[in-house]
Structure 1
Amino acid sequence: MATRAEVESFLQQLLAPERFKDYGPNGLQVEGRGEIRKVVSGVTASLALINAAIEAQADMILVHHGLFWRGQDGRLIGWLKARVERLMVAGVNLFAYHLPLDAHPLFGNNARLGAELGLEADGRFGDQELGFIGPAGGVSSVQALQAIVQQRLRREPVLAAGDGRPLRRIAWCTGGAQGYFEAAIAAGADAFLTGEISEPQAHLASETGVAFLACGHHATERYGAPAVAAHLATSLGLTHEFIDIDNPA
């Protein structure tokens, strides 16, 4: 067992959210009971995850996508009221970490996605150095990379194949990081992986020759929250369960 204050202090030290300019608040978003025995991790604080965590008798939920974002209507009505009310009635704490969870060099989304795909970063790029880049290793072609992504992430990526060059350097940034493509190209990547693709990236891939793979926002961000939660549980003597609420996006 640990207190909520001990958990908050541990996560603050581990993820250092004060280092990031983010799109919403990082840390404790909904305050629940003061003593924590079980943590459930997940990608997004959806009502489905909240209900599943309560059924699993969690005292806290740790997610990547929390409830509050810059520019949203902050009134507790509709879907937001339903989620907050469910948490507060059940006394379950909600912790959310966005960019800090992407960036952590060992437990973050980018680090864990790289490990899942057999990639190891030796550099960073992009805004706040969130993008990872490293050698392609034994992945010699974009077709081989596409097959690895499909096997490991269990979904077929959208591919803009570039010019088919041999892969020497692969860059990646989880989630909605399609805007990092130009920075990845400038960093020397032969292929770039992220969660989503927008209209301009297909043209950039064709014109620069660098391959672009959109592997799914949710699919690329399944790994950071459970890695952090498992480390938290081991360190503070808690139990942990990862609940994956699938999302086609």
Structure 2
Amino acid sequence: MTDGKTLGEAFDALLEPQKFRDYGPNGLQVEGDRAVKLLVSGVTASRALIEAAIEAQADAIFVHHGLFWRGQDGRITGWMRERIRLLLTHGVHLFAYHLPLDAHPELGNNAQLARLLGLRADGRFGEQDLGFIGAGAQSWASPQFLADHVARVLGRSVTCVAQAPGPVRRVAWCTGGAQSYFESAIAAGADVFITGEISEPQAHLARETGVAFLACGHHASERYGAPAVAGHIAKALGIAHRFIEIDNPA
């Protein structure tokens, strides 16, 4: 058992949020009033996750996508009111870490995706060095072979835009909505770039540069950092941990 302050300090010490320029507040977002015996992790602080955590009798929730983002309407109404009402009514702490959770070299989203896919990072690229680049533990004869591998591992379809059929030597990746990192990945020498989402301009860039673009789903690419970090901290503090999956096709 621990308290919310101790739990937050442990997350901050591991993820070092002060090093990042982010789109919202990292750390404690909603303060509960419970001693923490069970920590639940999930991807997004949705109503479904909050309700499932309450059903599991969680005392704290740790997520990648929290409640508050730069530029949003600050009024507590509608869906926002309901999420906060549930947390406050049940005294549950909510912790959220966005870019710091992507970036952690061992437990973060990018590192955990690499572990699953058999990628070995030997460099960083992009804004705030959030992108990873390296080689695979195996070679792939073409970008489509790699796309098929990613689809098998993540259990979902992958959008592959590839012009050149040649072998894949260097892979760059950045989880979630990192399609804007594509040009940096190209400049870093990647043969293929993997992220969660694709926007209209990236298809043209892939065809014109010969660097393949793989979009494997925002949620699907970011399912692994939150349970890795939460499980690590829970073990260190001697509390229980449970990951709750809320399916999301995006």
* Identical residues among aligned pairs (%): 65
Residue 136 of structure 1: how far off its partner (Å):
3.0
Which string of whole-angstrom CA distances, capped at 9 and with x for unpartnered residues, describes residues 183-233 of structure 1? 000000000000000000000000000000000000000000000000011
In the alignment, residue 243 of structure 1 is paired with which amino acid? I
Q: Distance in 2 between matches of 1:124 and 1:113?
A: 15
Q: Is 1:169 equivalent to 2:170 in the alignment?
A: yes
Q: How does 1:171-190 map to 2 (within 5 A)?
A: 171-190=172-191
Q: How does 1:38-187 map to 2 (within 5 A)?
A: 38-140=38-140, 141-187=142-188
Residue 3 of structure 1: how far off its partner (Å):
1.3
Count of residues in Structure 1 that have an aligned counterpart in Structure 2: 249
TM-score with structure 1 setting the length: 0.99
Aligned with 1:115: secondary structure? helix
Give the root-mean-square deviation of aligned CA atoms: 0.7
Q: Hey, what does 2:205 align to over in structure 1?
A: 204
Alignment check: 8 A CA contact 1:165 1:190 kept = no
Q: Hey, what does 1:15 align to over in structure 2?
A: 15
Aligned with 1:121: secondary structure? strand
Residue 35 of structure 1: how far off its partner (Å):
1.2
Which string of whole-angstrom CA distances, capped at 9 and with x for unpartnered residues, describes residues 11-56 of structure 1? 1100000000000000000000241010000000000000000000
Q: Distance in 2 between matches of 1:240 and 1:202?
A: 40
Q: Is 1:247 equivalent to 2:223 in the alignment?
A: no
Q: Hey, what does 1:6 align to over in structure 2?
A: 6
Q: Which runs of 5+ in 2 are unaligned?
A: none
TM-score with structure 2 setting the length: 0.98
Alignment check: 8 A CA contact 2:28 2:95 kept = yes
Q: Which runs of 5+ in 1 are unaligned?
A: none
In the alignment, residue 150 of structure 2 is paired with which amino acid? V
In the alignment, residue 219 of structure 2 is paired with which amino acid? H
Q: Distance in 1 between matches of 2:101 and 2:164?
A: 33
